[in-house]
Structure 1
Amino acid sequence: MRYIIRLLLVAVVFILPATSAQAERVLRLNEVAVGELDPHKALDYIDSILLVNIYDPLVRPKPGGGFLPGLAESWEVSSDNLAITFKLQAGIHFHDGSTVNADDVVYSFDRNKALGMGYAFLFANSSIAKKSDMEVVLTLNNPDSTILAGLTRLGIVNSDLVKANHQDGDFGDNGDYGSAFLSAQGAGSGAYKVDSHNMQELTVLSKFDDHYGGFLPKSPDTIRVIYVMETATIRTLMSNKEHEITAQWHPGTMFAGLAAEDGLGLTTEDGIAYLVMPIHSAKAPTDDVHVRRAMIAATDYAQMVAIEKVTEDLTAANRSRTALPAALAGYDASAPEFTQDLEAAKAHLAKSKYADNIGDYEVEIAWIAEVPKEEKIAFLLAHNLSQIGMKAKVVKVPWAVYSDRVTQLETTPHVGQLYFSATYPDPLSLLGAYHSRVRGSYTSHDWMSDAEVDRLIDAATAEMDEAKKNDLLVQLQRRLIDVGAAIYAYETRALFAKQDYVKAPFLDDPTNTVAMMGGNWRFNTWEVDN
């Protein structure tokens, strides 16, 4: 998530008169800035929503696991698991009318790797080559059980259009590789095309009628994303039916209030995300595993979940028991739920190298300024730590500052807060973030370097047998708990308030849920019936 609040553009939503909204089917939503349009830089929730609507991948995730054809109509895996041949569907068009072919796939793959941004790390083990105008071959250095899942995040761009908009840059003949262009304009084949985009204020998309996947009879014609997180403003817009669906990052009081209004309801995204509180493993005093284990044992998990209570019947969180949400393969269902144990916490502290002077240190607990409920979580943890004699300082940090601070070991807080969702449909989309080679980003800032964690991640990545891979994942979860990588506060039930006339089948029906960030927001599968 990125959290940069923008209030100046609130008036934008009023530009669209009610009569226009009735004449065409408009879906209005809000999210946290910044909205990154470039598919090969996309990281966050809103980036992922834009990605799945503007661009098409080779393969798409299927509810319940597995993959469906995207731009590729079929694929064949070699007997040694080191090559995959993709055959592209014929006659698929980009938004400018040109035809998707193998050159576009190769260019997109190579561009993503060259930029080294977004989810480029997923393809570090692979290369791609054109076999024919409508076929490509992906070659792996080693077997990789996550590769198809990773490809669901590779948006294929119109290579001719992007090349025509290269500017000067650091990539030789490719200049800036179209970086400036693709952060401002669309170049995809997805169900929606870009009409206008300001990554801090407003993005407008419109239906691409020639999309190969088609639309439902009442799919929205226009999508308007405002980058506004001011709760009172969004609540008023929802009550006035000038907004269709909210972001999930608002406080529970707003959701409870909206749920009580006629014509409004709540929908959820379950089982693919959790609140992780990474613990800095390379800064005193949390560089001692026993201090980290003490903090984990001291946490009041029941009260953490209670913070997410929305109504008497609904809580937007479930108790956690391991380092993975329950809906993902390899989940360690045999682990006990996390529970507060102050005596165990004190015993861990007594074993640490800081046993005699823990009071000399102040642990910094950060919360994101744009997400008010995180303040309650931070102060609850600070109180829990005081129960075992540890001092804590709660610090409010804007998201832009936080995401910059965690890129450096020295400036990363002792404890952060990260609502972490499965970014691609594989458990390693979450657990892979603990590998030492990916440290120093908002998705990986515990600064841990543990050889056994690295080994288990590498082994699970290479294991093509599902049962054996799941066994490795269970071992990995247990190791992460043993080394005190993070406080797994709770599993999240992402809540969204929406108008009753909006149908979002991948959110409304949990059996349709796709275990991929943004994957449940393909707007050609939604309907607006007002």
Structure 2
Amino acid sequence: MKLEKVGSERRKTMKKKISFLLILTMCVTMLGACSGGKNSSDKTKNSASANPDKIVRMMFTNTPYLDPAVGSDEVSTAIFPNIYDSLVVPTHDGDTEASLASDWTVSDDGLTWVFHLRDDAKFHNGEPVKASDVVFSMNRLITIGEGFAYLFQDKVKEAKALDDTQVQFTLSEPFGPFLSTLVRLYIVSEKDVMDHLKDGSYGEYKDYGKAYLNEHDAGSGPYQVTEYASGDHVSGVKFKDYFETFEEGSPEGFKFMVSPESVTVRTMMSRQEVEITDAFQPMESYAEMEKMDGIELMKFFGGSMMYLTMNNKKAPTDDIHFRKAMAYLADRANMVESIFPGSEVADGPVTRVLAGSLDEKLTYDYDIKKAEEELKQSKYYDELDDLDYTIYWVAETPDREKLALLIQSDAAKIGLDVNVEKVPWLTLVESAASPEQSPNSGTILTTPSYSEAGSQLVASYLTKEVGSWESMDWYSNEKADALINDAISTIDREERLKKYEEAQKIIMEDYATVPLFELVETHAYQSSYLYWEAAERAKKGESVVPVMGYQYSLKGMHFVDK
């Protein structure tokens, strides 16, 4: 009995070992099937069933403004072309083409423009798009005076509907890039806005529909908003009565989400819970996501420029020698090599992708000795110990902290203390209200509103336009103003571009700002099941539309079944 018991125990032990080995073998087999490389066939097969609802989920640093008379930041410009239409739209080669307008004419003196509207466009409320809506949209934008109003204020003298399909703009003076700027006139339904007025300060127009358009759209674009959750997301669906035919596999809807912490972004991408990341993830995160099956990186130069702004109206950055010292302290080559790889050191205050940018190096290279020499010429040199010099960096973009800390470290080498402060994006925007509220410097990224150098020059350096996050240098120079105004009033394109170049030279003579680098914009996206036109063009080395926001047009995306 004793031997039989021992044999029984051995058989039980053997069975346990065999069971364990079988389980282990199954686990190894399963892991082998699931852990294929970048081109795993199983992953490719599964990608066909990813996101069966065909909703494009994109990440941004904040929720957008839905009111096209208010918003001008990246996420707002990304949603506008998807829920609104404009008379013309930008092309990948920097030109413009028809959208709501089928054709147009301009008088010899450049003052009168007549646009003929297509007759099959409808708003999301079912009403036809009429010339009167275009007039209403232009007047509303100019009156509210926010967003892209600066493109048309003091330029458009009158907007007039000649009939339901013809709208006439009369300019107060010739405005060379007028057609290019119309990509920022998004047409709203007059009826929709007027039906939702609340108390406000615009006379008979009350609040001009601003409260309503905080959470709704009044557009005619290919998609319409269905849900708005401030600080979290905006969702929308395909507008079935859109005047253009949707491509097979086109997105059924969208969800623009506020980007969470980087680790969460990576997890969501790995689980196919988001299609396109924002452009502000740490480079280490991009590298990790690129290794994931079915995910590629989209990199392109879209006109984005990173600056270290210089508040010209606040001590100590009101001193030109202090500004030049900071320029020499900016180790830009190190920045593009170690923090933003693939980006290119800036030569001047305007991105190279814009017509009229100066093909000449105007910026300083990193040089500690020259920085110290400039600092000694500053009127603040004798009070360095008491100086309050602060750099803001945007909390939602962690890599910008590295820029600020790099400058802080180098500044310490010449006895200059630099305060580095983390602020939310909206706090930074609010700080741009006055020179006193604005920081001495900020790591600010700008992208052009239209495809000429005048876009950046007007938004950032024209005196009358200061007071926005794009003009936190608080720069004012009569000669530069005269050149910029003269340039944008010039009808002849080649002559206009030359004047842009002269204005850039004056701005850099004053070293009004410190251009750091031209940012290669990077997104991780689900390439295994989402076709993205802008990404495909970038992969081929072709130009990508250089107007902020239009790269995210859902009309340039469709789901594929591999």
**Both structures adopt the same fold (TM-score exceeding 0.5):** yes
The amino acid across from 2:486 in the alignment is: A
Give 1:508's match in structure 2, choosing from 525, 528, 536: 536
Q: Deviations 1:283-305 (Å, cap 9, x if unpaired)?
A: 12211111111211221111111
Q: Deviations 1:155-181 (Å, cap 9, x if unpaired)?
A: 101111211111121111111111111
2:551 maps to 520
2:26 maps to none
Instruction: Report the CA distance between 1:308 and its aligned residue.
Output: 2.9
Contact 1:36/1:183 (8 A) holds in 2: yes
1:411 maps to 437
Instruction: Report the CA distance between 1:19 and its aligned residue.
Output: 11
Is 1:40 matched up with 2:69?
A: yes
1:482 and 1:336 map into 2 onto residues whose CA distance is: 8
Q: Deviations 1:250-300 (Å, cap 9, x if unpaired)?
A: 111110100011111100231411101111111122111111112112211
1:460 maps to 487
2:141 and 2:86 map into 1 onto residues whose CA distance is: 13
Contact 1:161/1:187 (8 A) holds in 2: yes
2:40 maps to none
Q: Secondary structure at the match of 1:267?
A: strand
More divergent stretch after superposition (337-346 vs 251-260): 337-346
Is 1:255 matched up with 2:286?
A: yes
Q: Deviations 1:28-67 (Å, cap 9, x if unpaired)?
A: 1111223211111121111011100000001111221221
1:82-97 → structure 2 map (5 Å cutoff): 82-97=111-126
The amino acid across from 1:366 in the alignment is: Y
Contact 1:319/1:338 (8 A) holds in 2: no
2:248 maps to 217
Instruction: Report the CA distance between 1:20 and its aligned residue.
Output: 9.3
1:246 and 1:338 map into 2 onto residues whose CA distance is: 34
1:124-523 → structure 2 map (5 Å cutoff): 124=153, 125-126=155-156, 127-309=158-340, 315-335=341-361, 338-432=364-458, 433-500=460-527, 501-510=529-538, 511-523=542-554
1:24 and 1:90 map into 2 onto residues whose CA distance is: 32
Q: Secondary structure at the match of 1:98?
A: coil
1:98 maps to 127
The amino acid across from 2:120 in the alignment is: G
1:65 and 1:505 map into 2 onto residues whose CA distance is: 16
1:242 and 1:129 map into 2 onto residues whose CA distance is: 47
More divergent stretch after superposition (446-455 vs 257-266): 446-455
1:114-133 → structure 2 map (5 Å cutoff): 114-124=143-153, 125-126=155-156, 127-133=158-164
1:337 and 1:116 map into 2 onto residues whose CA distance is: 34
Q: Deviations 1:496-520 (Å, cap 9, x if unpaired)?
A: 0001121111233143511111111
Structure 2 spans left out of the alignment, 5+ residues: 1-46
Q: Deviations 1:82-113 (Å, cap 9, x if unpaired)?
A: 11011111121112222111111111111111
The amino acid across from 2:429 in the alignment is: S
Compared with structure 1, are the counterparts of its residues 258 and 22 closer, same or farther at alpha carbon in structure 2 (3 Å cutoff)? closer
1:238 and 1:99 map into 2 onto residues whose CA distance is: 40
Instruction: Report the CA distance between 1:199 and its aligned residue.
Output: 2.9
What's the TM-score once normalised by structure 2's chain length?
A: 0.87
1:406 and 1:97 map into 2 onto residues whose CA distance is: 39
1:214 and 1:426 map into 2 onto residues whose CA distance is: 31
Contact 2:530/2:559 (8 A) holds in 1: yes
1:236 and 1:22 map into 2 onto residues whose CA distance is: 16
Identity within the alignment, %: 31
2:365 and 2:244 map into 1 onto residues whose CA distance is: 47
1:337 and 1:187 map into 2 onto residues whose CA distance is: 44
The amino acid across from 1:473 in the alignment is: Y
RMSD: 1.8
Contact 2:302/2:545 (8 A) holds in 1: no
The amino acid across from 2:72 in the alignment is: L
2:554 and 2:543 map into 1 onto residues whose CA distance is: 14
Q: Secondary structure at the match of 1:330?
A: coil
Compared with structure 1, are the counterparts of its residues 509 and 146 closer, same or farther at alpha carbon in structure 2 (3 Å cutoff)? same
